[in-house]
């Protein structure tokens, strides 16, 4: 499902647009600078599983993957500083607005990843708010975080709860080129915003990795549309071309068949696939809005060292609050079938 289009007030059509007197919201929309991004990544948007990083080289194969978007919630400074994120980079010049827009950088420019980071963190927060968090429900992670680009040479990204910032790695495909990697890391920030220091044990840490994977797919499908050329359940199709040989390329999948406890291996990313597959089943059966509202709201009742079982019970309780017995039954069945209840 795509984000709803902004409606133009009737008064603007009748008078203000003719005179240039825009309402505050319309004036802000008109002022939002445009920029170029992947939405969410070139493998997903083109369906070309043969794409390779080739040391950040741009080319004709990527032409169909670029999208022009508006960057919202900026502070007006001309930099990538906004209500929910500020972007820092140690390689290349900082991205700045030129004549009302960010230049149409491509993947061979450092500034492209800076723009990607800003856009996808802001989009993730907008998705959460579209569910009612911050209006009819408690706000979730409505703080400004710092996103660091190209400051870690390994093929890994991470969230630091002690500084509430995200660092994106540049090994292989630069992580800032894949919207699903960016949103995954923001998922850790979301959980930390709900439960400070979340993820101190194997099971709670696995839940954290699983939620990051789930959120990355939910947000990108909401914004870019459900993928038709690659499997929706495949996470980080582009980033993973550097370290996977099979097709489709996936960092992880949300539709696995792992079962607790026999498939536990003691590693949070691998064990998280048990939890994420339950979340994805809930998403499939209840729909995006209902499922994500339940899943995110339940996390307010988590503890930083919560077990799979306790987290599943909290999620069932959230389903009962938001969708009654029918929704609670769907959620309970998803966890029970994986041995989590």
Across 280-309, b (16+ Cβ under 10 Å) vs e yields bbbbbebebebbbbbbbbbbebbebbbebe
pTM for the full model? 0.89
163-216 tens-digit pLDDT: 458 888 776 798 999 999 999 999 999 999 999 999 999 999 999 999 999 999
Mean pLDDT check: name the lowest of 90-94, 206-210, 269-273, 295-299. Answer: 90-94
Indicate if the pLDDT at residue 314 is higher than 80: yes
Q: pLDDT-derived band of residue 92, with 50, 70 and 90 as boundaries?
A: confident
| Average pLDDT estimate for 49-62 | 95
Helix axes 288-298 and 202-224, enclosed angle (nearest 10): 150
- Distance CA(79)–CA(40), nearest Å, equals 22
Nearest alpha-carbon partner for 268 in 325, 204, 312, 315 = 204
What is the Cα–Cα distance from 233 to 104, expressed in whole angstroms? 30
pLDDT for position 285: 98
Provide the pLDDT for residue 100: 95
Closest CA to 25 of 69, 75, 73: 73
Mean pLDDT of 316-320: 98
- What are the structural domain ranges in the chain? 1-31, 32-336
pLDDT above 70 for 68: yes
Contact by Cβ (8 Å): 217, 237: no
Strand 165-169, strand 234-235: pairing: unpaired
Average pLDDT of the residues of the chain = 89
Answer yes or no: are the C-beta atoms of 175 and 115 closer than 8 Å.
Answer: no
| Calpha distance 267→206 (Å, rounded) | 8
Query: What is residue 92's three-state secondary structure?
Result: coil
Q: Is the pLDDT of residue 1 over 80?
A: no
Q: Could you tell me the fold of the domain covering 32-336? A: Neutral Protease; domain 2 (1.10.390)
In the block, tokens 């509430």 appear at 164
């Amino acid at each position: 499902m795509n984000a709803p289009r902004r409606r133009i007030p009737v008064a603007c059509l009748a008078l203000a647009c003719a005179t240039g007197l825009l309402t505050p919201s319309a004036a802000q929309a008109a002022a939002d600078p445009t920029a170029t991004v992947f939405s969410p990544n070139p493998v997903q948007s083109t369906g070309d599983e043969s794409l390779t990083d080739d040391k950040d080289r741009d080319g004709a194969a990527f032409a169909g993957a670029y999208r022009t978007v508006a960057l919202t919630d900026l502070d007006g400074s001309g930099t990538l500083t906004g209500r929910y994120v500020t972007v820092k980079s140690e390689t290349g010049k900082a991205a700045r607005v030129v004549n009302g827009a960010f230049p149409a950088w491509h993947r061979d420019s450092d500034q492209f990843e800076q723009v990607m980071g800003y856009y996808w963190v802001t989009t993730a927060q907008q998705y959460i708010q579209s569910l009612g968090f911050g209006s009819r429900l408690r706000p979730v992670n409505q703080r400004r975080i710092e996103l660091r680009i190209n400051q870690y040479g390994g093929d890994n990204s991470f969230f630091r709860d002690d500084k509430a910032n995200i660092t994106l790695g540049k090994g292989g495909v630069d992580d800032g080129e894949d919207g699903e990697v960016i949103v995954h890391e923001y998922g850790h920030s979301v959980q930390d915003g709900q439960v400070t220091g979340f993820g101190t044990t194997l099971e709670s840490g696995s839940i954290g990795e699983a939620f990051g994977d789930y959120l990355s797919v939910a947000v990108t499908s909401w914004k870019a549309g459900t993928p038709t050329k690659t499997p929706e359940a495949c996470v980080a199709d582009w980033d993973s071309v550097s370290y996977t040989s099979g097709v489709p390329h996936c960092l992880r999948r949300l539709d696995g068949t792992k079962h607790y406890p026999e498939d536990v291996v003691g590693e949070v990313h691998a064990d998280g696939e048990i939890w994420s597959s339950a979340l994805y089943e809930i998403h499939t059966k209840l729909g995006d809005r209902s499922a994500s509202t339940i899943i995110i709201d339940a996390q307010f009742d988590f503890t930083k060292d919560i077990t799979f079982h306790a987290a599943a019970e909290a999620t069932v309780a959230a389903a009962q609050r938001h969708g009654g017995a029918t929704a609670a039954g769907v959620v309970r069945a998803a966890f029970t079938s994986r041995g989590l209840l």
